[in-house]
């Protein structure tokens, strides 16, 4: 069967809101027919952004990018790519875009620097890799995958993670790569506010991807620049297995976005898995309980995306919006920002 691969050409320059172009390439290769379905879901962060902040051009830019990326990932899965490969490639595209709070578009710390976090988990082996607080890594998700595959550890941080990157042959990138003007403006704006207002009003950005591949394997990954104006080496939920990322072939894969402290305290995404495994809840039931009940009861907000072992997807959030897109096991696509 002929397939179509969407190659997403990243043509957005710093400070520009230019649309992304898709180059469609015919691929004559075929794969052995398998009974398993494929599915993919991505997010670009949840927060209390308002539709009035998005004109038609900006809305179409985000929707078009999300559509392109999720279509690219889905076609890779349909061609037989393994889930880990797809998660890393998809999240690298999201990290390379200045539209989202990860990689190039990462927000600034209190000192106007960048501290990047990422994690990935494989649902078949339950192997995982995570990094936190790196400052010179272009694609943190790629380093997290190397921690999973090429070290005996799960979680490396700051200078140690950067030393491991050097050991693995990943060249450092100049910090100027991450200097997106909008992020500096956001830092100045937030520093002018009271702390409690900042925490309530600031949009918490992250990127995530969860897939089900033709082998029935579920893989999940998350990457972020953290919280604008963060101090003291603060680390949120994104690199923490069970809080921001989790995958288990027996149930589901999940990636979270939001106020990380509350996802850590509630071990949010592992809770969803546990409700499915031990209480026989559906993915939607379990995710809704955690995101709509447990997280708000603690005072937090945010969202979760997920895929279960049969190809169902969820995109649940308790904020006014979440950048999101998904294609479920039946091939149904969803792309949206607001409720």
Structural domains in the chain?
3-338 (3.60.20.30)
- Angular region, 27: left φ>0, alpha ψ -120 to 50, beta rest: beta
- Which of 206, 228, 251, 319 is catalytic? The answer is 206
Specify the pLDDT at position 12: 37
Identify which of 323, 318, 281 has the alpha carbon closest to the alpha carbon of residue 299.
Answer: 318
The token pair at 149 is 């595959």
Consecutive H or E run containing 255: strand 252-258
- φ, ψ of residue 110 to 5 degrees: the values are -60, -30
Identify which of 254, 257, 319 has the alpha carbon closest to the alpha carbon of residue 287.
Answer: 254
Distance of CA 262 to the CA centre of its chain: 17
- Cα separations in angstroms, 113 against 131, 188, 230, 231: 17, 13, 10, 10
SS3 assignment for 31-70: CCCCCCCCEEEEEEEEECCCHHHCCHHHHHHHHHHHHHHH
For residues 282 and 20, what is the distance between their CA atoms, to the nearest angstrom? Answer: 36
Specify the pLDDT at position 184: 62
Q: What is the pLDDT along the chain (339 residues), one digit of tens a residue?
A: 444 434 433 443 333 344 343 333 333 333 344 448 999 999 999 998 888 989 999 999 999 999 999 999 999 999 999 999 999 999 999 999 999 999 999 998 888 889 999 999 999 999 999 999 999 999 999 999 999 999 999 999 999 999 999 999 999 999 889 987 777 667 667 766 645 444 444 555 799 999 999 999 999 999 999 988 889 999 999 999 999 999 999 999 999 999 999 999 999 999 999 999 999 999 999 999 999 999 999 999 999 999 999 999 999 999 999 999 999 999 999 999 998
Under 8 Å CB-to-CB from 124, ≥6 apart: which residues? Answer: 215, 217, 218, 249
Specify the pLDDT at position 202: 53
Specify the pLDDT at position 181: 75
Q: To the nearest 10°, the Cα dihedral for 20, 170, 220, 287?
A: -80
Q: What are the start-end ranges of the E strands in 48-186?
A: 116-122, 128-134, 155-157
310 is catalytic: no
Specify the pLDDT at position 185: 65
Our CA angle for 188, 190, 194, nearest 5°, is 130
For residues 21 and 327, what is the distance between their CA atoms, to the nearest angstrom? Answer: 20
Specify the pLDDT at position 203: 52
Specify the pLDDT at position 91: 98
CB 34 within 8 A of CB 214: yes
Distance of CA 57 to the CA centre of its chain: 24
């Amino acid at each position: 069967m002929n397939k179509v691969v969407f190659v997403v050409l990243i043509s957005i320059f710093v400070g520009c809101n230019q649309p992304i172009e898709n180059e469609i390439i015919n691929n004559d290769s075929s794969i052995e027919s398998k009974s398993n379905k494929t599915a993919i879901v991505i997010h670009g962060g949840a927060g209390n952004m308002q539709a009035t902040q998005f004109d038609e051009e900006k809305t179409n830019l985000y929707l078009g990018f999300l559509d392109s990326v999720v279509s690219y990932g889905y076609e890779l899965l349909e061609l037989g790519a393994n889930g880990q490969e797809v998660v890393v490639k998809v999240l690298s595209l999201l990290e390379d875009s200045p539209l989202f709070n990860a990689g190039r578009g990462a927000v600034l710390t209190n000192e106007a620097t960048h501290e990047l976090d990422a994690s990935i988990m494989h649902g078949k082996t339950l192997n995982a890799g995570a990094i936190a607080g790196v400052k010179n890594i272009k694609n943190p998700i790629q380093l997290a995958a190397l921690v999973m595959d090429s070290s005996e550890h799960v979680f490396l941080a700051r200078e140690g993670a950067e030393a491991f990157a050097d050991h693995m042959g990943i060249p450092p990138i100049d910090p100027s790569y991450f200097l997106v003007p909008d992020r500096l403006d956001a830092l100045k704006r937030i520093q002018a506010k009271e702390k409690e207002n900042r925490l309530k009003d600031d949009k918490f950005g992250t990127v995530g991807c969860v897939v089900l591949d033709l082998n029935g394997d579920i893989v999940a990954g998350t990457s972020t620049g953290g919280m604008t104006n963060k101090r003291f080496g603060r680390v949120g939920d994104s690199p923490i297995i069970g809080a921001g990322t989790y995958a288990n072939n027996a149930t589901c894969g999940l990636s979270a976005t939001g106020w990380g402290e509350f996802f850590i305290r509630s071990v949010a995404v592992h809770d969803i898995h546990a409700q499915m495994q031990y209480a026989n809840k559906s993915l939607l039931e379990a995710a809704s309980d955690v995101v709509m009940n447990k997280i708000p009861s603690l005072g937090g907000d945010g969202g979760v995306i997920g895929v279960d072992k049969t190809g169902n997807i969820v995109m649940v959030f308790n904020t006014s919006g979440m950048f999101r897109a998904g294609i479920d096991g039946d091939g149904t696509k969803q792309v949206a920002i607001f409720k």
